[in-house]
Structure 1
Amino acid sequence: MDAGGGVRRRAREDDGSLLARVAQGDTTALNEIYARYGGPLFSFLFRLSGDRGTAEEILQDTLLAVWRSAGSFQKRSSVSTWLFGVARRQAHNRLRGVPPPVAAEPYDDLDPMPGPEELAVSGDRVQAALVRLPLPQREVVVLAFLNDLSHQEIAEVLGIPVGTVKSRLHHARATLRGCLDERMA
């Protein structure tokens, strides 16, 4: 548009600058954050809650929390890791002490081409087994296999040591294996 980049610069704006604009009250920047991360955050929240409606509500709570706390982002992690941390806190606030409901179908239009991990975990048997995991194990599985976060990134999102991430993944795999073996018998 203009010689300085104008609209084109904003179209390619990095996440940190976008979050700084959110902190200044720019709703367009919040919409861009939603456009970039709404799908992955919804998927994460759906897998934690097991219910589409609950996941939608938590996503709304997450965006409100991002709006209110964007100025507290200190660049100690990536924006995406920080966003998953905000979403996780909102999910814990909502789900604390509430058993997960029976799994529903996630949005069909969020990601038109789901990856192999999403296809593998989206099956009814696997989803039913996933919602039976304790929340700490479920969130590690979802972050690792559906959101493709590294052990270090998961540790940052959850505020736990990397060793704890590995331990939770190990126990979650064993539990999932047992649930799936039980259902196949």
Structure 2
Amino acid sequence: MNRPRGSARQWGVRSRIAACSDAELVALIADEHRDALAELYARHAGWLVARLRHRCADDGLVAEALQDTFVAVWHGAGRYHGAGGVAAWMWGISIRRLIGLLRKRRPEPVADSDQPAALVASVEELVLAGTEHGDLAGVLRSLSPELRAVVQATVLDGLTTREAGRLLGIPAGTVKTRMMRARAEMRGALA
């Protein structure tokens, strides 16, 4: 019989934990069961990394955000009350950790002489105004993936152009150009 290494008792605990739902695993984690955290990691780390990599080109930041996510799950499992799914809860933690890491690592703000600050703020105004004047979700879906990613990073996630560039793996100037294109397309679609 091919069993993992360890005693029969450990095998029994592991097999019972493997049969638990995600919510049951979180409850066990709240009671400090390390095997439950290992099982939750085995189930969710792969897709979390894939989604984080889709949002950030820096593998080091992705790995750090993933580690921070599971530390937060360990410490915060007792506060999970089942609203939404465990996967959605973990994704929320992951993306907030990634954004926090990006903000920590950003250099001191330097004024960009080639782009007025008012243009960046007007994108937010456009998106917020679009919620009153049209189908914003439909307009966002109609944008190309490159433009939609920039709008999502800068407007919805609140990142600066530099942070968005680091997240997406493109230069800050490209972020600005794509924002101008997205703004023009959104303005036309919402008019």
| Deviation of 1:168 (Å) | 4.0
Please say if 1:62 is aligned against 2:69: yes
Higher relative helix content: 2
Question: Would the aligned equivalents of 1:46 and 1:54 in 2 still touch at CA under 8 Å?
Answer: no
Instruction: Name the % identity.
Output: 30
Residues 48 and 91, structure 2, Cα contact 8 Å, conserved in 1: yes
Task: Give the number of equivalent residue pairs.
Answer: 115
Of structures 1 and 2, the larger Rg is shown by 2
Whether 2:53 is the aligned partner of 1:46: answer yes
Equivalent residues of 2:65, 2:98 under 8 A apart = yes
Are residues 55 and 174 of structure 1, via their aligned partners in 2, closer, same or farther at CA, if it must alter by over 3 Å?
A: closer
Tell me, in whole angstroms, the C-alpha distance in 2 between the residues paired with 1:87 and 1:37: 11
Aligned position for 1:173: 145
Give ranges in structure 2 of 5+ residues lacking alignment. Answer: 1-7, 107-134, 149-176, 179-191
Counterparts of 1:31 and 1:169, CA distance in 2: 36
Name the counterpart of 2:85.
78
- The TM-score with structure 2 as length reference comes to 0.51
Structure 1 residues 84 and 54: CA distance shift in structure 2, 3 A: same
For 2:31, the equivalent position in structure 1 comes to: 24
Report the TM-score, using the length of structure 1 for normalisation: 0.52
Moved over 3 A (4+): 5-9, 163-174
Shift of 1:167: 5.0
Cα offset, 1:97, TM superposition: 7.8
1:16-73 superposed Cα distances (whole Å, 9 cap, x missing partner):
0001111111111111111000101111112222111111111111111111111111
Preserved contact between residue 23 and residue 71 of structure 1 (Cα < 8 Å): yes
Q: 1:76 & 1:37 partners in 2: Cα distance?
A: 18
Which consecutive residues of structure 1, in runs of 5 or more, have no partner in the other structure? 100-162, 180-185
Tell me the C-alpha RMSD between the 2 structures: 3.3
Partners of 1:54 and 1:174 in 2: CA distance:
21
